Amino acid sequence: MKKHGMLNSHIAKVLADLGHTDTIVVADVGLPIPEGVTKIDLALRLGNPSFEEVVSSIAEDMEIEKVIVAAEMKTDNPEAQAYIDHTFADCPIEDVPHEQFKALTRTAKAVIRTGEAKPFANCILQSGVHFG
């Protein structure tokens, strides 16, 4: 049994398979998942697990070089925006209109669905390179 890091076998495999600039999405319960993109559904009930809990767990185990969020997060979910700004203070954060955000999810290696039920609690995490 794995002792440290990501214990969810589906997420661990996706993380292990990422190459430089590949992306994954952490999504709220409402984000549409594009046809053909792997969906890892963690949602148990509304709010559980939370967006922040899932993003924090992934960030501990993934080399992230850029984060993309919907521009609407800033006004419609300032708590999530503050969390992203704090968690990724040393990383470029790009905001794009929500429709563009949804289009970007089409090329993600996976969408990880949380139980989060607040608007625009979604982010795209772009893989960097860890040279140790």
76 is in an annotated binding site: no
Annotated binding residue 121: yes
Within 8 A by CB and 6+ apart from 119, the residues are 28, 72, 76, 77
Tokens representing 27? 């999504």
Q: Which amino acid is at 118?
A: K
Q: Is 122 annotated as a binding residue?
A: yes
My answer on whether omega of the bond before 49 falls inside 30° of 0, hence cis, is yes
User: Which of the following is catalytic: 10, 20, 86, 130?
Assistant: 20
130 is in an annotated binding site: no
Is position 4 annotated as part of the catalytic site?
no
Structure tokens at 125: 């995490």
| Binding site, annotated residues | 28, 98, 120-122
Active site residues: 20
| Binding site, annotated residues for substrate | 28, 98, 120-122
